[in-house]
Amino acid sequence: MAERERRISPPYGGVFVPRTRVLERDDVARAVWRMAHEIVERNHGLDQVVLVGLQTGGCWIADRLADALDTIEQVRPEVGVLDVASHRDDIGLRPVLPEEATDIPDDIDGSCVVLVDDVLFTGRTIRAALGALHDHGRPRSVQLAVMVDRGHRELPIRPDFVGKNLPTRRDEVVDVHPEGVDLGEMVR
């Protein structure tokens, strides 16, 4: 959960209290490295592969994936960032997030875009990301890389590359950051 989501998640203004460290820093690095290898294998190299990190939680993961891909293939794919706040279908059901910067490479037409996010939960953020992405062009294909897949899908969306499958309760919160992955609750 990114900082801006944490500030407005119920209970509003609550504090995230970690209960369990699920992945350590080295585990996150290994997951990024593995996902990078899977991206190369699935796409037979990096020709026309573009990484797009979702604001705000997926941006640092997209950068780490790009670094790993550069080490593996000696080619650093273009990296963009995408804010999906205005494309969400639950705007009336939850607080509207302030918009962050969107910076998509100029021409994604015909590219393979790998959307990158920290946590896949209901799938609604990814649905919004697909809508926002198509405002910028028509990629040849779209793949999804997430650090944590926690289940509880409300839409038929499945990730292509996963760092960790983590079954959770609906009321639990998963916090992904460069130092690791924590599981806990929001409390007032």
Which residues constitute the domain of residue 40? 3-85+98-170
Give the per-residue pLDDT at 10. 53
3 state SS of 131: helix
In a domain, 102, yes or no: yes
Give the per-residue pLDDT at 70. 98
Give the pLDDT mean for 15-27: 95
In a domain, 188, yes or no: no
Give the per-residue pLDDT at 85. 83
pLDDT tens-place string over residues 64-80: 999 999 999 999 999 99
Using alpha carbons only, give the angle 57, 62, 67 rounded to the nearest 5 degrees. 140
Give the per-residue pLDDT at 187. 87
Give the per-residue pLDDT at 56. 83
Q: Give percent of the chain above pLDDT 70.
A: 88
Q: CA nearest 39: which of 116, 136, 138?
A: 116
User: Model-level pTM?
Assistant: 0.89
pLDDT tens-place string over residues 126-173: 999 999 999 999 999 999 999 999 999 999 999 999 999 999 999 999
Cα distance between residue 160 and residue 14, in whole Å: 33
Specify whether the CB–CB gap between 98 and 35 falls below 8 A: no
pLDDT at residue 7 greater than cutoff 90: no
In a domain, 107, yes or no: yes
Specify whether the CB–CB gap between 139 and 107 falls below 8 A: no
Tell me the average pLDDT of the chain: 90
Give rounded-to-5 percent helix, strand, coil for the chain. Answer: 30, 30, 40
Give the per-residue pLDDT at 145. 98
The CATH number for 156's domain is 3.40.50.2020
In a domain, 178, yes or no: no
- How many structural domains compose the chain? 1
pLDDT at residue 4 greater than cutoff 90: no
In a domain, 179, yes or no: no
In a domain, 184, yes or no: no
